[in-house]
Amino acid sequence: MNINSKTHMMSKLIAMFLALTTFCMIDANAQSFQEQVDLSPFDSVAVQTEGRLKSFGSFAHGEMGFVSGPRKINGQTPEFTFLDMLFRPEAYADADVIYVKAAIVRKPIADALVKAEPSLAARMDGFIKTGLISEALLQRSEVEPVMQQMQSDLLRTAKAMDSIRGARTVMRPEFLLRELRIVPSPGDQKDQQWSSMRDIMLLAADPGALKAAGATATPIAGIDETKQRECAAAWKSLVEGWTNGDAIVVNKSLVNIAAILPSMNSDAYPDASRLRWESWYFSNGNLVWIWLVYAVSVVLLLIGLVYHWRGARVAGIAVFIVAFMLHSCALGLRWWISSRWPNSNMFEAVTTSAWFGGCAAVILEIFLRRRAAAGMFALASGFASAVALMAAHFLPIQLNAQISNMMPVLHDVWLYIHTNVIIFSYCLIFMAAVSAGIYLVYRVFGGKAVYARVGVSSVGAIVGGSVGGTPGASALRGEKLGEVLDGVTMLLMKLSFVLLWTGIAMGAIWADHSWGRPWGWDPKEVFALNTFVVFAILVHVRYRSKDKGLWTAILAVVGAAVMLFNWIVINFIITGLHSYA
Amino acid sequence: MKFGRAIFDLFSSVRFGIVLLVLLFIYMSIGSAGILYPVHPNIFHPDAWTHAQMRQWRPFEMTEFEWFHWWPFDLMIGLIALTLIVTTLRRIPLRVINLGVWTIHTGIIVLIVGSFIYFHAKVEGDAPVARRKIVLKLDGVEAPVELLAAPGSSAFIGSGANRMTVEVGEIDPAWTLRSGQDEGATAYSVNLIVTDPSKRFIRQLIANHPEYTEDLMFTNDPGQPMKRAVKETGTPILEPRLTATLDYESQGYFYLRNDLAKSWALYVRPLGATQWVMRPIDGLPLYNDRISSRSEVFEVGGTPLVPIDPLSVSIPATAPNDPCPDVIFTANGYLRYAQTKSRLVGGGSNAPFNPSATINVKSAEGAKANYQLIALDPERSTGDEGLIRMVAVSSEAEFEKLLRRAEVKIVIPAAGIDIVEAVRIPQEDAKVDAEKPFIPIGDPQLGYGFRVLAAQDDLPVADRKASVLIVDIKTPDSTIRRWVFDDATLTRDVPANGGAHAGPIAPDPAVQFEYRPGGGRALLTLAAGPSPDQLRLVASFGESAGKSQPVTVDQPMTLPAGLTIEVSSYQPRSVIDTRPMIVPLEQQIRDAREMFAQILLSIPGGESRWMEFSMYAFDDFRFALRRHPFHPMQVKLADGREMELLFSRQRLPLDTEVALEEFVLTSHEGGYTGQAGTIRDYTSILRFRDSDQWGAPTQVSVNSPIEHNGLWYFQAQWDPPEPPSSQNDRGSRGLNYTVLGVGNREGVWIQLAGCIIAVLGMIYAFYVKPILIRRRSERARLAAEIRIGHSNEVVTP
């Protein structure tokens, strides 16, 4: 039920069906508490973490991500799980909530446990499949030597052990409480650390009990003391309500806390609507589900292309435009929330790159709407965006959507110039490979060896309509389809050729003043240049060869493969492989 | 002629150009990403493939930079340039329509020229610059003593009774000034802990504010452990004979980056000299271990990790001021990642007496501990912070002395007391406990008592050794703090709570104390000798306290409190075998670079020794920066001259000295919390020394370098705060130094011009040329129509 992977789609559906029918029978109480608790007041609570002010929602997503990775615990929202883990840690001690990402470390742990206690076999099968294990199992003495052994292998398993240790640390209620820095610092000094609830909660404690425990409660200087006391009292009733399973008390306390916190220093407190949107953005999966809309447009456009069906094509373009608008909203929202243009981590690079492709497609579709190539750019871009957002959806660890501060080296105007030009060119390269791929399919199915003629322009086939034929569907028949595809590939290839060259040169300018050298033969640089070399080969081969369309298509696909190699293999594998890299 | 023609044709062939581009692609891919090759016949199995960086293989041993400067690459680029020029001139007519191609090709040629200039002039390295050094001067001592302002760094000045030990205590990189004109401003503050035979105090120095220098005194009040001397004595300086000032610790060199192009170097200086002289080492590998015999190294679990592959790289003198130009050292081995380990082995019967033992101790609860102790090695003769100890005795008398406990003889004539009391020596680093109970002297009714605060045996004082016990003595009417020496003439009273006078006074004769230090035995003491096979155990607790019992190897002995002790091996004539241990790949820290490299250096006519890599050629240990390994080695040449050697990287002079005025760390919301995500920027505020004068401060931060005398300075590394890493470490609040990247960039403007020319050409070729062609064909069509008279339109070209 908490499996979130496309390969398990079917079992997920079945599990969901079963869950619907069984939940109310077995766990009515627990379920109802979770349902009755209304965490929405906390959507506008800000948490200071790692040098940023985040909404509670995005903070809880981040922290729970350290524990259970991409998995959801009991179908709960991360916000609920965060507070539940804080107030009722015992409920999670032996629950399989720790996600072990590295598959190679799962088996040794499972083997050690099964050896010690054969009855765990079934549970361990589940662990090997889902990667979820409990704190109590990891604590067992049989696991310890296995984990220690794996910790000492710095090359293969130490990182996985570090992340398990990280998950166990985060799960501890003292850690969760300490990190819950929701009490704003007094004054307007931005580099003052916010306080955790831990720092004021004792203000609501019974003085006698406090004395008996040898503790003291001192309010934070600079903040209205009555507010601190009110907040501590509300927190106390929240804790009591939560542990008693009393949703009414909990909801009231949540409202109170959410109201008091901003009033402690309203000048320094972030805008409530921004915080609410941030929570919304994270609880809606960063809107990467838009890939589905793109996928629909791709299907419609392909139907339109293959069956020369104008209706499907028009519908496809319409759906594409809807998807692009949603995508733009997601991007704009992220821009507003993070107060910077989204291009500084892998998630942002991939989704923004796809968005640039969408922009190019929309502009080209408008200019060439009466030409034979109408719909082709939407198709290529829709495909690129669907793939990009799908990657963000299904690889949430590699493409981490958390908003964090940029490294100091990224704070430069060239980040915005260089990175965007490069990722724009990468998307165009991918789009060119889409049309080149369709061209190759066309040739496999017996299409003629045609190409778009220069002079009638690189956009020859596209403006084909104006040269003689009638615009629209008729132009897509027979030889024209090959010409159109080749023309689209060439148009996109030329754009990306110029942009890639410019982007590389701009990167060199940035590297020159940032790292002290314009070019350092770093693998990322080399493979960006390699991509360009492939396109240089393409241009010259096209000039020399007889079957221009075929070679163009093949090399466009090769170029895209090199680009993807740079983005995926170099980024995730090569640079991390050699310490001298 | 025919051949020449064929060559000419070849270089004007587009096909040849394409072949060259394909080769370039392959060459670059191999050099950068490496290669995949099958290691198993079943190539469809995922484990059948392995990845390798070919350029790092033994025959190549190349960094990325070197791979892309190798002659095949230069040749390829040269051929591409030639083909480009010949083809363009011969095959592409210079017409308006072809301007794009011409421009692109011109741009590429310009870029190649620029890159040639750039890469052939390229030097790049890093220069560490510390923030301040401390200059110590003492009246009557000629030469000032310098040491780095870094936590834990220490030096001494003077001799005999004038000898002062100065240790750097806490450094606050942003100390807030509390008074004077600059109240509220922050400055770099350094606390020095000064110890001389009679007192201990702290001197606080504040950078750029010598007027605020003042001394702080230790007190017995745990609430306020230090007091300003000015409040106590009316003068801010307790010890006017000692002057300490903060000064720039400027840097005049930068060290070449080894990962750019191998740039190993050996540094040489006569023992005692400060100036290092560099000898570049050419031909030393970087990636692969080179040994000529397995006995040179330790390997984990005894399994060979590296093949035997001997090395011989001679390291002759190159500088005119080399201290031993006639001596050619040789590197006969190289290890990329190794740690020096020592193992104890039994020496022959001729080996000197050097007892060592392996001891297993088991407590009643089942807790086990294992110790390997070497009696004559002060670092390794004790275990568990001194609870267990191994000693070597050369005579029975010495052994008797060992059995002796520490005592104090107390005489109080007024009360008729003349007794000897055993004293328990507190742990060395134990906190002075003001609440510690007094031990009554004689009848408690008399009101006399004492407590031991600290003890130190065999303290070097002037030209001999003395042992001291610091005690508080309670008399019916007061409490006296006394430093009781084994030599009664040294014993002094120190006013415990300040009092009217500063400094020690002669002891009060009403109460006489005499310290008799013990034999230095620990809770458990293992004594070897006087006969080499004799091993005895002395326990200091339980019924048998202070008595010895003979030890037999492998025979467990039961002690009071359920303790079991077993000596599993005893070597009376042990020899320490020290070798580098090759660290297996999976245990290597990533990004360690050359940090753990070693070379086997042969001294002509002498021995061969492994040398650990040093990051920089610091002048001295007093100037070594935190986190940067520094391992100089002393050697004796065949003719008896003593030299100091250092294995590091080549360095180049900076032309101008650079000093670090200030280092500023800026942070995001909530300040720096130790997490990388909270750091906004690092800024070094530098000053350059031109024409013997420090210039105005200039800032270098990430993405904003500065240029000075043709070299560019970049912010590269910083000094983060760090908790203590061991018992003897103070920890650091960081920001005591910066590491600047330094490099040149000749030809970058030509490179940039090439890129711009090329991109202009691309735009022309892709977007202007088609318009020209279309217009031309349109015109041709219209012309044709006009000719056959089908058109009445007026045509404007």
pLDDT of residue B7: 87
Q: Does A535 touch chain B (CB under 8 A)?
A: no
Has residue A404 been placed in a domain? no
Report the residue from A407, A501, A537 with minimal CB separation from B22: A537
- In terms of residue numbers, what domain contains A296? 284-399
A454 at B interface, C-beta within 8 A: yes
- Start-to-end CA distance of chain A, whole Å, equals 42
Nearest CA in chain A to B712: A516
Pairwise CB contact (< 8 Å): A516 & B714? yes
Mean pLDDT to the nearest integer, A349-356: 96
Chain A hits for B756, CB-CB cut-off 8 Å, are: 505
Q: Does residue A437 sit in the same domain as residue A574?
A: yes
User: How high is the pLDDT of residue B410?
Assistant: 87
Are A408 and B743 a contacting pair at CB < 8 A? no
Does residue A548 contact residue A559 with C-beta atoms inside 8 Å? Answer: no
Shared-domain flag, residues A191 and A265: yes
Assigned domain for A275 exists: no
Q: What is the mean pLDDT of residues A200-214?
A: 83
Which one, of A519, A501, A500, A499, lies nearest residue A509 by Cα?
Answer: A519
| pLDDT surpasses 80 at A179 | yes
Residue A28 has pLDDT above 90, yes or no: no
CB contacts, 8 Å: A512 with chain B: 745, 748
Tell me the whole-structure pTM to 2 decimals. 0.82
Distance from CA of B428 to the nearest CA of A (A): 31
Reported as a single tens digit per residue, the pLDDT across B278-321 is 999 999 999 999 999 988 998 877 678 889 999 999 999 999 99
**How far is it, in rounded angstroms, from Cα A429 to Cα B510?**
97
Taking alpha carbons only, the member of B261, B379, B340, B359 closest to residue B565 is B359
Instruction: Please tell me which of the candidates A53, A456, A501 has its beta carbon nearest to residue B759.
Output: A501
Shortest Cα–Cα distance, B722 to chain A (Å):
18
Q: Give CA–CA dist B612/B339, Å, rounded.
A: 9
**Do A160 and A306 have their domain in common?**
no
Among candidates B647, B592, B644, which has minimal Cα distance to B616? B647
DSSP category for residue A220: P
Query: Are A358 and A312 part of one and the same domain?
Result: yes
B755–A512 C-beta distance less than 8 A: no
Structurally, how many domains does chain A consist of?
A: 5
Q: Give the CA count within 13 Å in the CB-facing half-sphere of A129.
A: 12
Tens digit of pLDDT for each residue in A369-390?
888 888 999 999 999 999 999 9
The sheet carrying B264-270 orders its strands as B277-280, B264-270, B642-649, B633-636
What are the backbone angles phi and psi of residue A232, rounded to the nearest 5°? -65, -40
Minimum CA–CA partner of B589 in chain A: A154
User: What residues contact A110, with CB distance under 8 A and at least 6 apart?
Assistant: A124, A125, A127, A128
Counting one residue from A and one from B, how many pairs have CB atoms under 8 Å apart? 198
Give the pLDDT score at A7. 39
Shared-domain flag, residues A204 and A167:
no
Nearest CA to A76 out of A113, A22, A35, A109 is that of A35
* CA–CA separation, B81 and B116 (whole Å): 12
- The end-to-end CA distance of chain B, in Å, is 48
CB-count burial class (<10 Å; 0-12, 13-18, 19+) for B439: middle
- Range A51-56 average pLDDT: 93
Give the mutation candidate from A52, A416, A537, A568 for the B interface (greatest B CB count, under 10 A): A537
Higher confidence at residue A184 or residue B488? A184
What is the spatial distance between Cα A118 and Cα A112, in angstroms, rounded to a whole number?
10
Q: Is pLDDT larger for residue B439 or for residue A167?
A: A167
d(CA B498, CA B475) in angstroms, rounded, equals: 18
For residue B707, give how far its alpha carbon lies from the nearest alpha carbon of chain A (Å): 10
Domain closes at, from A379, A399, A419: A399
Task: Compute the nearest-CA separation of A503 from chain B (Å).
Answer: 11
Interface of A with B in 293-352 (CB under 8 A): none
Q: Is position A276 within any domain?
A: no
A533 touches chain B (CB under 8 A): yes
A-chain CB neighbours of B64 within 8 Å are 520-522, 581
Contact B173, B737 (CB under 8 A): no
Instruction: Give me Rg for the CA atoms of chain B.
Output: 37
- Predicted confidence (pLDDT) per residue in B570-615, tens digit: 888 888 888 999 998 888 887 888 999 999 999 998 889 999 999 9
Strand partners, B472: B451, B481
* CA–CA min distance B147, chain A (Å): 32
Q: What is the pLDDT of residue A341?
A: 93
Inter-chain touch A455–B118, beta carbons under 8 Å? no
The string of pLDDT tens digits covering residues A450-464 is 888 754 444 444 444
Q: Is residue A197 part of a domain?
A: yes
Same domain, A389 and A530: no
Token digits of residue B191: 């606390």
Which of A470-484, B34-48, B536-550 bottoms out in mean pLDDT, i.e. has the lowest? Answer: A470-484
Q: What percent of chain B has pLDDT over 90?
A: 46
Beta bridge partners, A524, equal none
Kindly give, in sequence order, each residue whose CB lies less than 8 Å from that of residue A303, ignoring residues fewer than 6 positions away: A309, A312, A316
- Contact yes or no for A408 and B63 at CB 8 A: no
* pLDDT reported for residue A5: 45
Decide if A155 touches B, using CB distance below 8 A: yes
Length of chain A: 581
Predicted confidence at residue B575, as pLDDT, reads 85
Encode pLDDT of A84-142 as tens digits. 999 999 999 999 999 999 888 999 999 999 999 999 999 999 999 999 999 999 998 88
Distance CA B491, CA B198 (A): 11
**What backbone phi and psi angles, to 5 degrees, belong to B591?**
60, 20
| A552 inside domain | yes
- Report the mean per-residue pLDDT for chain B: 87
| Residue with the larger pLDDT of the pair B481 and B70 | B70
d(CA A327, CA B532) in angstroms, rounded, equals 84
| Minimum distance, in Å, between the CA of residue A49 and any CA atom of chain B | 8
State which amino acid sits at residue B119. Answer: F
pLDDT digits 0-9 by tens, A263-322: 999 888 999 999 999 999 999 999 999 999 999 999 999 999 988 889 999 999 999 999
Q: Which of B25, B83, B715 is the mutation pick for testing A, counting most A CBs within 10 A? A: B25
- Is residue A391 in a domain? yes
What was the ipTM of the complex prediction? 0.87
Q: Are residues A426 and A573 in the same domain?
A: yes
Contacts of B287 in chain A (CB under 8 A): 580
**Chain centroid offset of residue A198 CA:** 32
**C-beta atoms of B714 and A536 within 8 A:** no
Answer whether residue A11 shows pLDDT above 70: no
**Residue B74 in tokens:** 């230069």
Q: What is the pLDDT of residues A559-568, one digit of tens each?
A: 999 999 998 8
Summarize the confidence of residues B32-42 as an average pLDDT: 84
A61 with A169, same domain: the answer is yes
In 3D, which of B433, B423, B437 has the Cα closest to residue B484?
B423
Instruction: For residue A491, tell me if it sits in a domain.
Output: yes
State the Cα–Cα distance between residues A6 and B616, nearest whole angstrom: 54
Per-residue pLDDT band at A466 (split at 50, 70, 90): very low
Band (A479; pLDDT cuts 50, 70, 90): low
Indicate whether A106 and A127 sit together in one domain.
yes
Please tell me the distance in Å from B775's CA to the nearest CA on chain A. 9
Does residue A331 belong to any structural domain of this protein? Answer: yes
CB neighbourhood size of A480 (10 A):
18
Return the percentage of chain A with pLDDT > 70, whole number.
89
Residue A19 has a pLDDT of: 42
**Which pLDDT does position B600 carry in this prediction?**
96
Is residue A341 a contact partner of residue A347, using CB atoms and an 8 Å limit? no
Q: Are B494 and B483 in contact (CB under 8 A)?
A: yes
Residue A140, classed as helix, strand or coil, is coil
What is the pLDDT, as a whole number, of residue A30?
55
Contact B194, B201 (CB under 8 A): yes
A394 pLDDT more than 70: yes
- Do A503 and A438 belong together in one domain? yes
Backbone angles phi, psi at B137, to 5 degrees: -130, 140
A408, B679: Cβ pair inside 8 Å? yes
Verify that A422 and A544 share a domain, yes or no. yes
The nearest CA of chain B is from the CA of A292 a distance in Å of 32
Phi, psi of B610 (to 5 degrees): -75, 140
Compare CB distances from A530 to B28, B585, B742 and report the shortest one's residue: B28
Domain boundaries, chain B: 2-91, 128-251, 264-341+577-649, 353-402+521-572, 405-516, 653-748
Instruction: Inspect the interface and report whether the beta carbons of B586 and A459 lie closer than 8 Å.
Output: no
Give pLDDT tens digits for B203-243.
Answer: 999 999 998 999 998 877 777 878 888 888 888 898 899 99
CA angle in degrees (0–180, nearest 5) for B51-B56-B62: 145
Secondary structure class of B466 (helix, strand, coil): strand
Cβ pair B133, B623 in contact under 8 A: yes
Q: Does A579 contact B at CB distance below 8 Å?
A: yes
Same domain for A147 and A262, yes or no, is no
